Amino acid sequence: MREYAKSGATRALWVGGLVASTAIALLASGAIGAGKHRITVDEAAIVASADKGDNWLTYGRTYDEQRFSPLTQVNADTVSELGLAWYADLDTARGQESTPLAIDGILYTSTAWSMVKAFDATTGKMLWSYDPKVPRETLVKACCDAVNRGVAAWGNKLFVGTLDGRLVALDRGTGHVVWETRTTPEGSDYTITGAPRVVKGKVIIGNGGAEFSARGFVAAYDVDTGKQAWKFYTVPGDPSKPFEQPELERAAKTWSGKFWTLGGGGTVWDGITYDPVTGLLYFGTGNGEPWNDEQRDPANGDNLYTASIVAVNPETGKYVWHFQETPEDRWDFDSDAQITIADVTIEGQKRRVLMHAPKNGVFYMLDAKTGAFIQGKPYTTVTWTTGLDPKTGKPQIVPEARYDKTGKLFIGMPGAAGAHSWHPMSYSPKTGLLYIPVTQAAFPYLAADKDWQPEPLGFNTGMDGVKTAMPAIPAVRAGAIKATTGALVAWDPVKQKAAWTVQHDAAWNGGTLATAGNLVFQGTAKGTFEAYRADTGKKLWSAPTQTGVIAAPMTFTAGGTQYVAVMAGWGGVWGLAPGILSLKGGAARNVSRLLVYKVGGKGKLPNVPWAKLPLDPPANFASPEQLAQGVQQYVRFCAACHGDAAVGSGVNPDLRHSMANADPKVWQAIVHDGGLAANGMIGWSKVMTPAQIESIRGYVVSRANEDKALGEK
Ligand code: CA
């Protein structure tokens, strides 16, 4: 483990950064004193912070989740002088997706494995660290790495959701646990990766799991006690039992067959937004489960309320309206992406709107009060729909995209990673542009055989991953790699077209931050942190990060100085599953750090050597029968974490390079007996025989030899 590094920056008195209104609030609360907080976070403080940039009090900075900072010290003229103020190495080597909070000169961030850390924002000194001790075997139920996207603050507490389904309240001053509540059923397939939001004294948290077995819900908990205040199911359960909510009766009419047996999906794993103006709480819901619609709902109904935005009353959790973006979803088109609220002028009329750029590749603008569809258009290449009905916003689905009906391969763009997923976007009211981190990656959708059965462990998507694995054919690979790119799209939500686009080589880049300094910040998969002019997209600044950056930057002031911070650390689903396509960009390795910059910062990152094992496999040993079995087992139980076609995607070991593949005994000790369970690699003896596990070794060794023959080292 590396030490927490400090910069040489002089310790500034952060008292100087306090603005008068904050001081008044603190005096009123009597909170000033040693070890006491200067600000009590509540709705008034969050709303008031919109016009001040000193603190970053909630995940999307303000309730409207615009991720726009009014700070201007770092601006288009000064950004060329931006340098590292300090950095902190993290003690977790998995994807870092968190946006830190800044409160009174202290940075609070969650890290992989749902840990939370507090740092002095000027010196980088770690003040406290909290580890919820998530059992590492939870990882096998997590689709997309042991990530966590952030903490919430309210009063003098912080809240974090843990990968294994708990909601934990911490004392903001000490990091000590105040209360802890289990939010998901014991032993279930739910995981929490999203940031909680706090609205009217209630902590709102959802969860993921719709690639396993999960019935989506979101719930609210009392900030003081952790007691559940309300719970909203997004999809109906067994219709022979009473519906928990009246709107589920209507939803059940859009499903057929035994849809509830795998939960149905519709999980609320990221986007949750509260609008104090409309008084509504909005959240996005995920894909239907399994992905293969024929296996979930043979009648191919709309499957409410999957792939939708739902508005509820935040006090009661009562349904107000919904808008379904992807009816009969079969492409893993979660609608969980960030929901942003803004006032915009459309056809001469000022309207309060909800803006959304979900995985399906289409930008949506809805009326924030009523959910009425205003307008929508693809913000990237889209092959599953020819467009939206201009009145209802319902998509026309291309017949070939119904791969479960046709039984044929459908190359979908966007694919299952989504054109834009959880990566935060930002909106500048100054430019009127939304800055969307876009992934341009196709996915080969092919349904599994009709007699497909759910897996006892592992992914339940109902897809044929064997036939669609990346072949060892150089021309096919080169074509797929070339077609897999990313972009920073500055989207004009009123004109519904890109004002400018920055094309990236690689697909999986960081979230964005917009500032009044006419800047947009974004980290990249190639291991850089960059700043662009918000109005034109001109690149103004870049710094090396040594690892792919996927999280969103944030900014704040401490001691009168503006800082820009970002969590660095390659990972998430793109750091696990896509195999060779993930490696494009060149920084597909995890070096987990919190990076903090300021104008005039002189810090330097120490070089971390890249210890990559050579591609030196034993000779092929498997019979054709063994190989056929090996690829089946690999796709069922290994591919989601160790990468398509056994090519590691940068976070978990690349099995082709693993020394374990040379020794059947070591292989069994790990894969069968669980010798690396402490790292999250469980033993698979419950679902595979030693012979099946040995067949996987045969497949991995064969893949390694194929790639070695193609010149890979
Ligand atoms: Ca999903």
Domain containing 64 — which CATH number? 2.40.128.630
Q: Report pLDDT digits (tens) over 100-148.
A: 999 999 999 999 999 999 999 999 999 999 999 999 999 999 999 999 9
Task: Name the least confident of 87-91, 184-188, 225-229.
Answer: 184-188
Is the separation of the CB atoms in 94 and 147 below 8 Å?
Answer: yes
Q: How far is the CA of 516 from the centre of ligand 1 (A)?
A: 34
Same domain, 515 and 585: yes
Do both 587 and 634 map to the same domain?
Answer: no
Burial of 352 (0-12, 13-18, 19+ CB in 10 A): middle
What average pLDDT does the segment 56-60 reach? Answer: 98
Q: What is the mean pLDDT of residues 406-411?
A: 98
Instruction: Tell me the CA–centroid distance for residue 212 and ligand 1, in Å.
Output: 10
Residue 9, pLDDT score: 30
- The answer on pLDDT for 30 being more than 70 is no
Provide the CATH number for the domain around residue 705.
1.10.760.10
Write down the pLDDT at residue 26.
39
Q: How close is the Cα of 264 to the center of ligand 1, in Å?
A: 12
Give the mean pLDDT of 615-641: 97
Specify whether 670 is located in the same domain as 555.
no
Is the separation of the CB atoms in 282 and 291 below 8 Å?
no
As beta bridge partners, residue 288 has 265
Q: Give the pLDDT mean for 47-53.
A: 95
Taking the centre of ligand 1 as the mean of its atom positions, its distance from the CA of residue 333, in whole angstroms, is: 7
- Cα torsion 665, 669, 670, 675 to 10°: value is -150
Q: 553 alpha carbon to ligand 1 midpoint, in Å?
A: 24
Residue 90 within any structural domain of the chain = no
- Cβ(580)–Cβ(573) under 8 Å? no
User: Taking a C-beta distance cutoff of 8 angstroms, is the pair 470, 476 a contact?
Assistant: yes
Q: Which helix (H) or strand (E) holds 597?
A: strand 593-599
pLDDT over threshold 70, residue 659: yes
pLDDT digits (tens, 9 = 90+) for 213-224: 999 999 999 999
Residue 359, in any domain of the structure: no
* DSSP conformation letters of 413-448: SS-TT-SS-SSPPEEETTTTEEEEEEEE--EEE-BP
Inside any domain, residue 32? no
The secondary structure of 607-654, three-state, reads CCCCCCCCCCCCCCCCCHHHHHHHHHHHHHHCHHHHCHHHCCCCCCCC
Q: Which residue type does 162 have?
A: T
Shared-domain flag, residues 564 and 637 = no
Do 431 and 517 lie in one domain? The reply is yes
State yes or no: pLDDT of 29 exceeds 60: no
Residue 208 CA to ligand 1 center (angstroms) comes to 8
Which two three-digit tokens encode residue 468? Answer: 């669609």
Task: Please determine, for residue 487, whether its predicted confidence score (pLDDT) is greater than 80.
Answer: yes
542, 577, 606: which is the final residue of a domain?
606
515/432 same-domain check: yes
pLDDT value, residue 314: 98
Please check whether residues 566 and 634 belong to one and the same domain. no
Same domain, 661 and 580: no
Q: Is 602 exposed, middle or buried, given 0-12, 13-18 or 19+ CB atoms closer than 10 A?
A: exposed
Chain centroid offset of residue 305 CA? 21
| 8 A C-beta contact, residue 288 and residue 307 | yes
In the chain, the number of structural domains is: 2
Least Cα distance to 156 among 99, 211, 206, 118 occurs for 118
pLDDT of res. 3: 30
Cα of 211 vs centre of ligand 1, distance in Å, is: 6
For residue 28, what pLDDT is reported?
37
Please compute the mean of the pLDDT values over residues 628-644 and round it to a whole number.
97
Task: Locate the DSSP E strands across 114-243.
Answer: 116-120, 126-130, 152-154, 157-161, 166-171, 177-182, 197-199, 202-205, 217-222, 228-233
Neighbours of 316 (CB within 10 A): 11
Ligand 1 centre to CA of 302 (Å) is 17
688 is a domain residue:
yes
Is 332 tagged catalytic?
A: yes
Residues 556 and 639 in one domain: no
pLDDT tens digits for 231-267? 999 999 999 999 999 999 999 999 999 999 999 999 9
Q: Do 260 and 198 meet the contact criterion of CB atoms below 8 Å apart?
A: no
pLDDT at 555 over 50: yes
Ligand 1 centroid to Cα of residue 625, in Å, is 33
* Three-state secondary structure readout of 402-419: CHHHHCCCEEECCCCCCC
Does the structure show a pLDDT above 60 at 11?
no
Q: How far is the CA of 419 from the centre of ligand 1 (A)?
A: 13
Q: How far, in Å, are 9, 118, 253, 555, 567 from residue 603 at the CA level?
A: 9, 20, 60, 18, 16
Q: Does some domain include residue 496?
A: yes
Cα of 332 vs centre of ligand 1, distance in Å, is 5
- Asked whether residue 646 is assigned to any structural domain, the reply reads yes
The reply to whether 554 and 691 lie within a common domain is no
* Domain final residue pick, 606, 641, 672: 606
The pLDDT, as a whole number, for residue 36 is: 53
- Residue 690 inside a domain? The answer is yes
Q: With 0.85 as the threshold, say if the pTM is over it.
A: yes
Place of tokens 């080969």: 444
State in Å: Cα 266 to ligand 1 middle.
8
What is the chain's mean pLDDT, rounded?
A: 94
Residue range 147-190, pLDDT digits in tens: 999 999 999 999 999 999 999 999 999 999 999 999 999 989 99
Active-site choice (104, 145, 275, 332):
332
The pLDDT of residue 361: 98
Is the previous residue joined to 414 through a cis bond, with omega within 30 degrees of 0? yes
- When pLDDT is cut at 50, 70 and 90, the band that residue 4 belongs to is very low
C-alpha 524 – ligand 1 centre gap (Å): 23
* pLDDT per position as a tens digit, 568-600: 999 999 999 999 999 999 999 999 999 999 999
Q: Is the pLDDT of residue 683 over 80?
A: yes
Nearest to 179 by CA among 164, 167, 197: 167
State the pLDDT at residue 24.
38
636 and 558 fall within a common domain: no
Which of the four pLDDT bands, split at 50, 70 and 90, describes residue 457? confident
Do 591 and 677 have their domain in common?
no
Angle, alpha carbons 429-380-384 (nearest 5°): 130
Domain ranges, residue 70: 39-74+419-442+484-606
